[in-house]
Structure 1
């Protein structure tokens, strides 16, 4: 009964599991937040483009400045003054979205959402691609969060024997009563183990 002075050791994985768990949650949470922010930005851009293209005010942009756009495809990012059809209103400076493939030499037909817009939209696939991409990224973020925080299966930690017993209870009685020597001996064993 002597005490050898050694500290009792912690159960395996008790301390390491906690810190790893928080690290994983932080990494997954950061990834989900990144996907969510990217999805929201794309969705906002898609909604803005859709509003401009289908419900916005038509007009023309008198281009004053163009800068080469060097992305996946080459083109031009241009800004200028927007004048609504019929001269209803003017916006001193708007950026034409998305980029133009050719540098414009004349006013560019475009649409704006309202008088406070700083973007003029030309017909494109942006409403479809940005809106769809935004929804896809938001869906992935939700899927990641659900995968981490979903409730666990209560039967996950049951032993094989307990799972089999539970499955037999769900199925109900196996059928008509069994007869014969084997059935009698099984019933005797069950009675003995129950007492």
Structure 2
């Protein structure tokens, strides 16, 4: 691999990383907006707890959240009213009430609490399983290579402050340009390059 191709690859990875952060933020915001119309943050936490271990008693949920039983009671009533949970009398002790997620509640928990897995699947829709496996293996090799370089660099800077741009000296030079995800050259003077990654 020549130097120009290595530089292109580095910029593609930086662009990809930047896009991942933006996509996570935008998709989580959009999905959470819909969920928050009917479910607040505290109710969302209750859903997450039940998704991890369904059928907990209200006392057990109260201990996990470290809140008053009356406060939890209000949360459960709201969730039950909207069809996200159901309360059932314990078969062994009629005084105990267990709380279970409904199918509707389980679906909402996935959207409200854990959107990343579903989002990642949509982002990688253009890759086959073989492509994803190959890419994962290549990225693992790259990570090991970069960790090795970092380890060697840190040995020399362990007792000193690392100057800005030391790892990428060319990134502070005038007229710097980089490549986007399609390999096209972009950028310009130093200030323009920095603005592109804010």
Report the TM range for the smaller structure's normalisation. Answer: under 0.3
Higher strand content, 1 or 2: 1
Higher helix content, 1 or 2: 2
TM, length-normalised to structure 2: 0.26
TM, length-normalised to structure 1: 0.26
Larger gyration radius, structure 1 or structure 2: 1
